[in-house]
Amino acid sequence: MSAYTLQKLIRAINSDPAVRARFVEAPEALVGEWALSEEERTALVSRDYGALYRLGVHGLLLRPFSILHDLPEQSYLEMIRGRAS
């Protein structure tokens, strides 16, 4: 499993209300503090679930992250299966 730091940040957003609030208010600032690739930063800030999945984020981190943002299950599945942009 790759994308260690990316997954660590997503887990922090999912589980720590303070980190979550920062992600909502100023995602670029938060994401800039973590050692991520440009591709990872862009995918996370734009909440590109398909890209995050392809970058190696585990489903039990990514689906809870998407639920935080009220993404319906069917939309989530279409994105990670690559049937939506």
CA 14 to chain centre: 9
Nearer to another protein, 26 or 81 (CB): 81
Planar angle of CA 15, 21, 23, nearest 5 degrees: 90
Question: Given the complex with another protein, which of 29 and 75 has the nearer CB atom?
Answer: 75
Nearer to another protein, 23 or 63 (CB): 63
**Which residues here bind another protein, judged by CB under 8 A?**
1, 4, 7-8, 11, 58-64, 73, 77, 80-81
Q: Name the residue type at position 14.
A: N
Distance of CA 71 to the CA centre of its chain: 12
Beta carbon of residue 59, minimum distance to another protein (angstroms, whole number) = 3
